[in-house]
Amino acid sequence: MIAGGLAALLRRYAAGDDEEIVVQMLVERAQSRLDAQLHGFHWLDLKALGLLGADAAAAGVLAAVHDAVNRFWWLDATGLTVAGLLLLAVIWPRSVDAGPNLRAFYETFGGEAAVDVGRQMLAELLETIDTNDRIIRAQKPEVLIELSLVLIVLSVVGTVPLSLLG
């Protein structure tokens, strides 16, 4: 996918130093994209943890004042519990690829020409980025976070009508 376009770009600049400069530029860009991708994973975890804390606090308050709400308080508690489970699914440990092992990479390709090492590093970084993209598409953490936020809001707002009915 991305590698085909990059290979064409590399062939266009196949003259000596230009090729090495282009490979280095692309490796830096791929590393920057991988870093942004890994920061994105951490950001999703932080959002989920923040919402999980709010969810736990709301569930605790609801359990503490359930007598003031009415006998259907468990409906809202169920919504908060489901939201908490969804958030736990988001923060559940997942295996993301952080890139090639540098020691093994150096031991394997350290004696090669700089442009060849750069090409191999670029290929491995692109594979890492594609692998992580597949992981994030399969898990859909943004959808789980949004769904849990909706459940939290509905459960918290739902206590008002329940308390008025009781």
As for how many domains the chain has, the answer is 1
Instruction: Report whether pLDDT(58) > 70.
Output: yes
pLDDT in tens, 82-131: 999 999 999 998 888 888 998 999 899 988 888 999 999 999 999 999 99
- Domain extent at residue 142: 2-165
CA R_g for the chain = 25
Q: What's the predicted TM-score (pTM) here?
A: 0.72
Give the separation between CA 81 and CA 83, rounded to whole angstroms.
Answer: 5
pLDDT in tens, 5-39: 666 555 655 545 788 888 999 999 999 999 999 99
**Arithmetic mean of pLDDT, 54-71:** 87
